[in-house]
A and B are shown apart, each in its own frame.
Chain A
Amino acid sequence: MLNEPVGVRSPQFSNQWIRVTPLGSVAYWYLDSMETVRRLGNMGEGWDGYGSPSIPVRTTIAANYILSLVSQHQVNSPHIAPVPGGGIQLEWDYDNRALEIEIHPSGEINFLIAEGDEIIVKPLHEKLLSPLLTWIQTGYFT
């Protein structure tokens, strides 16, 4: 069971399997995080009590894709939260550092890093993921 591969579909090419993640190589929290994303995707319209639209399928697919990449790093489980408007965000806090990855319903993905009073928000590219995860754990970019 542990080595059973899990396929992840690309957010852009939803009919094509582009990645297979052997479960033996992923973080302990990976399956739980996918279950959380599934639950968020099942929340109905108005889930926030203020009329937010539900979270579109493409957002949950993108969130699962990001989680599959993150799960291959030695990083703690992210806090996963729904964002009004239909987004999903992943959050980590280490000491005085914070990293957030927000998947917007439009398909756009941004990251936010905060250290002390300094906060930066930028678009996320896949190649930035590894340095960001290293930074949140160590305080250094590699």
Chain B
Amino acid sequence: MSPQQRQQIGDDDILWRRLTTPYWIKDSNGTRRVSSAAFKGSPHDLELSTHAAKLTTLERVFNSNPHALAVGEIVARMPRDLGLVVEHDPDEEDPSHTIIRLNTQKGIREKHAKELAKKAHLKERPPPELVKE
């Protein structure tokens, strides 16, 4: 998609990070939370994929690949406050695709992941009987 079709991601825009494994959902002092592992990326992939809520729906995020059990919801301001770039990176299959460019330094990346996980709101996939046909 051309840069002209890219949209501005505002500080208050909601981003959803897909939680694609049950191990990224933890029980923390009796509350289900997002593990920081979900926000870590890797040295080989410093672009953390998220989805801009204003350009998609939770239903679509849950029902397209990669399969997600839940999403970690943050607002764009959170990574930006850590000095990270957030930018719309749409593709044909997913016009909501938005990336967070992670820090290249490992120790800092771990800190950032922890900060984001602490602030992330867990939204779990509804049970199948509640999903609209």
A, B from the same assembly:
yes
Number of A-B contacts (CB under 8 A): 87
A53→B43 CA distance, assembly (Å): 12
Residue interface mask A32-63, B partner, CB < 8 A = 1: 00001000100100011111110000000000
A78→B66 CA distance, assembly (Å): 27
List chain A residues, Cβ under 8 A from B45. 50-52, 84-85
Q: Say what secondary structure dominates the interface of chain A.
A: strand
Q: How near does chain A come to B63, taking the closest CB pair, in angstroms?
A: 13
With A91-B35, A112-B114 known to touch, is A48 a contact of B41 (CB < 8 Å)? Answer: no
Contact of B36 among A53, A82, A100 (CB under 8 A): A100
Contact of A121 among B26, B66, B110 (CB under 8 A): B110
**When the two chains form their complex, are residues A85 and B42 in contact, meaning their CB atoms are under 8 A apart?**
yes
List chain A residues, Cβ under 8 A from B26. 79, 81, 91, 93
**When the two chains form their complex, are residues A110 and B110 in contact, meaning their CB atoms are under 8 A apart?**
yes
Chain B residues packing against A (C-beta within 8 Å): 18, 20-21, 23-24, 26-29, 33, 35-38, 40-45, 49, 65-68, 106-108, 110-111, 114-115, 118
Residue interface mask A71-92, B partner, CB < 8 A = 1: 0000000011111111101010
A84→B67 CA distance, assembly (Å): 16
**When the two chains form their complex, are residues B114 and A50 in contact, meaning their CB atoms are under 8 A apart?**
no
Q: Say what secondary structure dominates the interface of chain B.
A: mixed
Given contact pairs A49-B67, A85-B42, A85-B45, enumerate 4 new A-B contacts (beta carbons under 8 Å): A48-B21, A50-B66, A84-B41, A114-B114
Report the interface size for chain A: residues with CB under 8 A from the other chain.
Answer: 32
A95 at the interface (CB under 8 A from B): yes
A120→B24 CA distance, assembly (Å): 21
